[in-house]
């Protein structure tokens, strides 16, 4: 689909802010979709609005802010506030980095993180469905296989945005996947038992569900409760999908945080998830999500200090 230039605007993001670190994070996570393009400080990506409309987005740093160019087949004036809000959320406009970094006065881990990745805002560009696909594909699978499942979903059922001389493939819409039988999904993308979860989530969202901007306004416990109504979404997945940044410990990250907090490698990483989560809540409170993201993007540096045993 060839998209035409639509709304262009500049966002002033509060300091500290590093555009490159925010949209192209060190561990290689994509901003919104794995097929987006980041070259010479410019990002070409896409977002999907609540209506289901796909927008192409080109962004680059401009002074203390960010120049945002959106591309659409047709853009309504009424959609402009939603675009601005989604981009602000995607660039971490609301992240309280000053307060997070201030914890570094007493917490040596945060002191190091804020030094290593200064200005990296968490950002939450995607909608509920894209994050649900990510979370479910991450379950019980090595990274390679998770990536294969997600790539297959995007290539087979995703939507292409051609704009500004670039082509970006975006996650499938809930309406699109709601029309696919779970047996077909399981076979085509080797999703295994996850296929019925994905089909179920697609149907629920296609039938009407709070969007990411609405979830942001709820209390953290309420958001998690709402998200856990999805089939196949438990504590871990709900915290990945939530725009309020929880502490989604899995076996891999539980091992890392146990080594950082307690200085030892747990023999049963799954068994320490509850304990590590409780300590994180007590130690970092509302900034536990910041610590989680910062740590996973700073592993090479932390390995030297904390002797983390396994990086991948």
Partner DNA sequence: GCGTCCAGGTCTACC
Partner DNA sequence: GGTAGACCTGGACGC
Give the binding site for DNA (CB under 7 A): 135, 138-145, 186-187, 190-194, 196, 228, 230-238, 250-253, 270, 312
Q: C-beta of 265: minimal distance to DNA in Å?
A: 13
Q: C-beta of 68: minimal distance to DNA in Å?
A: 28
Please spell the DSSP secondary structure of 111-162, one letter per residue. HHHHHHTTT------S-HHHHHHHHHHHTTS-HHHHHHHHHHHHHHH-EEEE
Q: C-beta of 277: minimal distance to DNA in Å?
A: 12
Rg (CA), the chain: 19
Signed CA dihedral, 214, 217, 222, 223: sign only = positive
Nearer residue to DNA within complex by CB, 75 or 254: 254
CB 133 within 8 A of CB 189: no
Q: C-beta of 208: minimal distance to DNA in Å?
A: 19
Nearer residue to DNA within complex by CB, 18 or 148: 148
Q: C-beta of 141: minimal distance to DNA in Å?
A: 6
Nearer residue to DNA within complex by CB, 175 or 196: 196
How many angstroms from the chain centroid is the CA of residue 153?
Answer: 17
CA distance 251 to 91: 29
Nearer residue to DNA within complex by CB, 116 or 250: 250
Q: Tell me the β-bridge partners of 39.
A: 42
Q: C-beta of 206: minimal distance to DNA in Å?
A: 18
CA distance 91 to 249: 24
Query: Exposure of 271 by Cβ count < 10 A (0-12 exposed, 13-18 middle, 19+ buried)?
Result: exposed
Nearer residue to DNA within complex by CB, 175 or 228: 228
CA distance 162 to 167: 4
CA distance 155 to 309: 35
Q: Enter the tokens of residue 75.
A: 């853009």
For residue 12, give the H/E element and its range. Answer: strand 4-12
Nearer residue to DNA within complex by CB, 55 or 138: 138
Q: C-beta of 312: minimal distance to DNA in Å?
A: 6
Nearer residue to DNA within complex by CB, 143 or 264: 143
Nearer residue to DNA within complex by CB, 1 or 311: 311
CA distance 250 to 41: 33
Q: C-beta of 228: minimal distance to DNA in Å?
A: 7
CA distance 302 to 179: 45
Coil, helix or strand at residue 52: coil
Closest CA to 162 of 66, 72, 283: 72
């Amino acid at each position: 689909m060839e998209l035409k230039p639509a709304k262009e605007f500049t966002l002033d993001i509060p300091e500290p802010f590093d555009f490159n670190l925010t949209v192209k994070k060190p561990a290689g996570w994509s901003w919104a979709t794995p097929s987006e393009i980041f070259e010479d400080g410019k990002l070409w990506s896409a977002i999907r609005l609540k209506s289901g409309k796909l927008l192409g987005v080109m962004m680059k740093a401009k002074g203390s802010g960010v120049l945002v160019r959106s591309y659409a087949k047709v853009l309504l004036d009424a959609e402009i506030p939603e675009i601005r809000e989604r981009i602000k959320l995607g660039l971490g406009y609301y992240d309280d980095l000053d307060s997070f970094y201030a914890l570094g006065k007493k917490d040596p881990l945060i002191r190091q993180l804020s030094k290593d990745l200064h200005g990296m805002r968490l950002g939450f560009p995607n909608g509920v469905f894209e994050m649900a696909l990510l979370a479910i594909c991450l379950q019980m699978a090595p990274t390679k296989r998770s990536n294969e499942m997600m790539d297959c979903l995007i290539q087979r059922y995703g939507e292409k945005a051609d704009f500004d001389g670039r082509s970006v493939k975006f996650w499938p819409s809930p309406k699109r996947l709601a029309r696919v039988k779970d047996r077909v999904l399981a076979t085509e993308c080797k999703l295994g038992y996850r296929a019925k979860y994905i089909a179920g989530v697609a149907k629920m969202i296609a039938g009407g569900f709070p969007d990411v901007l609405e979830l942001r306004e709820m209390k953290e416990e309420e958001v998690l409760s709402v998200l856990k109504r999805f089939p196949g979404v438990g504590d871990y997945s709900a915290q990945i999908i939530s725009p309020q940044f929880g502490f989604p410990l899995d076996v891999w990250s539980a091992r890392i945080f146990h080594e950082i907090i307690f200085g030892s490698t747990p023999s049963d990483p799954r068994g320490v998830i509850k304990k590590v989560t409780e300590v994180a809540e007590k130690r970092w409170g509302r900034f536990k999500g910041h610590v989680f993201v910062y740590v996973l993007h700073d592993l090479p540096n932390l390995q030297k200090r904390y002797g983390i045993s396994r990086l991948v």
